[in-house]
Structure 1
Amino acid sequence: MRKQIMATLLIAAMAVTATGCGAASNGGSESAGSGGKTKTYTLKVGTVLTEADPIYLGLEQFKKNVEEKTGGNVKVELYSGSQLGADEDVLEQAKVGAGVGIITDPGRMANYIKDFGILSGPYLADDYEGALALMNTSVYKDLADEFKNDGFKILSFNYYQGSRNLFTKTPVSKPEDLNGLRIRSSGSDVVTKSLEAMGANTTVLAWSEAYQALQQKVIEGVEVHNSAAVGSSIYEVTDYVTLTGHFQLLTGLVISNDWFDKLPEDYQKILEEESYNAGKNASSIVIEKDDEFLQKCIDGGVEVVDCDKEAFKKAADKAYDELGYRELKDKLVAELGK
């Protein structure tokens, strides 16, 4: 009887091997279809944002459309609130070919190509349209192409998260008011140097740690866009918001270039098109609801402080020299005709 059972198990194992249904590497697998074997691919996409954030809603649209248009052969898994890992960790996985992606900003991508950080420089753009115009310049296009050598593929860089403002425990109306205040930085050189040029001391923290750090008075403020301030309830642990608008946060969906290259060409085109469409729609929601997000912060007890925006702009400009971006900034300004 034992021999019969073992023989049956052996035959079953041989049958599974023959169908070729085992998992393939790098997020791909093969399944039998009506026309033979059809390879399927899985892309895991992460973000630090919550599921209520407009950017996450855009990613849900990306997932839905990609899966529909590829007949389910490209599956997209979404992870909010840094569940997939910190941006840097996900980027390192993508770099070596894993089927992962992340919504991230130019400052973090500057860790791989330094000049890319210029695209999130302080007061380089005044609004969404201005930030989007940067992505149509030769500077952006040349740098984006270079990322392929580092193992990355930018599907699109049009996910607008809004203007970055200062949420603090004490009122800040001019750069001098930032002197001595510990303000959270994401850790990117652009953010750190810009905040310091504006007068702040910086403390590098993961965004997921900012709320508790404010509670425990490890820091006295953060710079963040209104939708994220609502999504993370940062208004509960700050008392003032200064609408400096020092950064226009345009982010992108960055995935593994090696994983992307393994896709059929029609799938590649679908991913690029649907990423752009999702970014466009998510950005429109952010813009439409920005006043609503700010009002929620005000209703939560935060007071809006009038500020000398030109003074902040003048102070922040020093960061371009500190970062070595002065020549690159001049080139962008000339190309944009500003």
Structure 2
Amino acid sequence: MKKIIALFMTAIVMLSMAACGTQKSSNGSGSEQKSVTLKLAHNLNEQHPVHLALAEFAKKVEEKTNGQVKIQIFPNGQLGSESEVLEQLQAGAVALTKVSATALTTYEDGYNAFSLPYVFNDENHFYKCMESDVVKELYNKTKDKGFIGLTYYDSGARSFYTAKKAINTPQDLKGLKIRVMGFKSQTDMMQALGGTAVSMNYGDVYTALQSGVIDGCENNETALTIGKHGEVAKYFSYDEHTRIPDILVISSKVWDSLTADQQKAIQEAAKDSTEFQKPLWKKSVQEAVEQAKSMGVKFNDVDKKPFKEAVAPMIEKYSNEMIEVKKLLDAFKTIQ
């Protein structure tokens, strides 16, 4: 059924693209370039910093192409879940989408590097690594899989938050059931730290925390307020084990249908949108912390050294088993 829907949507997109007509290029050469409208789908709401960045991206694309390329955004999961939209994108029915880097691990091993704990030293190191040549190379490695990466968006550092006690050392996780996203790297991380990984949908977390089915979660500060988890989880411990970016990807089929000038404009607009999103994300985190404090959440800093030591064998194992992961991690270590 998904394949039928994807094929149907592809037909609609191709018809709509054909109906757009042509416009003269702005370089004065007199050559003709097609005017296109590209669909961008994602599962966030219109207030989220990433959605605002995508709206800025759409605005910049239209400006830089003199209206030749327009982006139509479908937020709130209107066209399906993250994985469903990615399938549509591979078929060319959707042009662009935002996905968590972890969702791309099944297509390219290198993306596992972003979900490993303590890969990035801090926020500035994260930014420099994500803007490095080795990451740009990674973006293009999935072209034959149906998509390429354009840029990244900050989704913060993920830490542990719990219902009954703060997490100050890995020993504090022993015997605790912690909700994770369900990717192997997260399950392996929890095992290395002594906790028990529990995979469940984000929408079920509040009730699970409230009923004691789980003892805590790992996420950024905004989960305390957007998901209202701060009502039932009163301890947020800043171990900052991972910084998993969101990645903006575009269909290979759509990308190849664009002119070189249009491709350049989209790449420039994507980079601009990342810079646009950074302060928005910081502001959203600051607001979430203040609101969570008013809900009674206590925030505590932790010594990260014991956590790093506990997961070191896990990181070495991933590096040994995945050449692309080792390549990225080695490059990140050279970035100051």
Kept after mapping to 1: 8 A contact 2:158/2:219: yes
Partner of 1:63: 58
Superposed CA deviations along residues 292-314 of structure 1, whole A, max 9, x for unmatched, are 32121111221223433221222
Rounded to whole Å, the distance in 1 between the matches of 2:264 and 2:328 is 32
Contact 1:101 / 1:255 at 8 angstroms: preserved in 2?
A: yes
Residue 44 of structure 1 aligns to which amino acid in structure 2?
L
User: Is 2:134–2:328's contact at 8 Å kept on the other side of the alignment?
Assistant: no
**Residue number among 181, 190, 196 corresponding to 1:186 in the alignment:** 181
Q: How does 1:119-158 map to 2 (within 5 A)?
A: 119-157=114-152
Q: Report the structure number with the largest CA radius of gyration.
A: 1
Judging changes above 3 Å, is the alpha-carbon distance between structure 1 residues 330 and 274 closer, same or farther for their aligned structure 2 residues?
Answer: closer
Amino acid at match of 2:335: L
Alignment CA distance shift 1:294-1:95 (3 Å)? same
Q: Deviations over 1:195-218 (max 9, x none)?
A: 332222112223333334334433
Structure 1 residue runs without a partner (length 5+):
1-21
SS in 1 for 2:41: strand
Question: How far did 1:149 drift?
Answer: 1.7
Q: Residues 164-203 of structure 1: matches in 2 within 5 Å? A: 164-171=158-165, 172-203=167-198
Percentage of identical aligned residues: 27
Q: Which residue of 2 aligns with 1:9?
A: none
* Residue number in structure 2 paired with 1:4: none
Which residue of 2 is the match for residue 219 of structure 1? Answer: 214
Q: For the aligned residues, what is the CA RMSD?
A: 2.8
Distance 2:37 2:117 in 1: 39
Q: What is the deviation of 1:40?
A: 2.2
Q: What is the number of equivalent residue pairs in this alignment?
A: 314
Match of 1:13 in 2: none
Q: 1:291 to 1:41 in 2, by over 3 A?
A: closer
Shift of 1:239: 1.7
Q: Is the 8 A contact 2:102 2:112 kept in 1?
A: yes
Alpha-carbon offset, residue 33 of structure 1 = 6.4
Alignment of 1:244-263 (within 5 A): 244-263=239-258
Q: Distance in 2 between matches of 1:220 and 1:82?
A: 29
Q: CA 1:84/1:312 → structure 2, altered by over 3 Å: closer, same or farther?
A: farther
Instruction: Give the conservation status (yes or no) of the 8 Å contact 1:120–1:190.
Output: yes
Distance verdict in 2 for CA 1:61–1:327, change over 3 Å:
closer
Cα distance change on mapping 1:80 and 1:183 into 2, 3 Å: farther
- Give the alignment's TM-score, normalised by structure 2: 0.82
- In the other structure, the counterpart of 2:330 is 331
CA separation of 1:143 and 1:68: change in aligned 2, threshold 3 A: closer
The structure 1 residue matched to 2:39, chosen from 15, 36, 43, is 43
1:183 to partner: Cα distance? 1.6
Distance across 2 between alignment mates of 1:112 and 1:194:
21
CA distance in 2, matches of 1:50, 1:39: 28
Shift in alpha-carbon separation, 1:53–1:331, aligned structure 2, 3 A: same
> Does the CA-based 8 Å contact 1:107-1:191 persist in structure 2?
no
Change (3 A) 1:210 1:83: farther
Q: 1:161 aligns with which of 155, 173, 176?
A: 155
Q: In structure 2, what residue type is equivalent to 1:46?
A: H
**Distance in 2 of aligned mates of 1:183 and 1:205:** 10
**SS of structure 1 residue aligned to 2:157:** strand
Moved over 4 A (4+): 32-38, 325-330
SS in 2 for 1:161: coil
- Rounded to whole Å, the distance in 2 between the matches of 1:85 and 1:46 is 8
Report if the CA contact (8 A) 2:41-2:97 is conserved: yes
Q: Distance in 2 between matches of 1:34 and 1:263?
A: 13
Contact 2:49 2:284 in 1 (8 A): no
Determine which of 102, 107, 121 is the counterpart of 1:107: 102
* Cα deviations by residue, 1:132-184 (Å, 9 ceiling, x for unpaired): 22234454233222111211111112x11211111211222211121222222
1:112 deviates by: 0.9
TM-score (norm 1): 0.82
> Residues 300, 76 of structure 1: CA spacing in aligned structure 2 closer, same or farther, 3 A cutoff?
farther
Query: Once the 2 structures are TM-superposed, how far is the Cα of residue 227 of structure 1 from its aligned partner?
Result: 3.0
Deviations 1:98-138 (A, max 9, x none): 22433223322111111221133211113232112223445
Partner of 1:78, secondary structure, is strand
Contact 1:63 1:76 in 2 (8 A): yes
1:162 counterpart SS class:
coil
Residues 191 and 255 of structure 1: is their aligned pair in 2 closer, same or farther, counting only changes over 3 Å?
farther
Q: Write the deviation string for residues 59-89 of structure 1: whole angstroms up to 9, x where unpaired.
A: 1211222234445443323344444333222
Paired residue secondary structure (1:112): coil
* Aligned-pair CA distance for 1:263: 1.9
Asked if the contact 2:155–2:245 (Cα under 8 Å) also holds between the matched residues in 1, the reply is yes
Cα deviation, residue 46, structure 1: 0.4
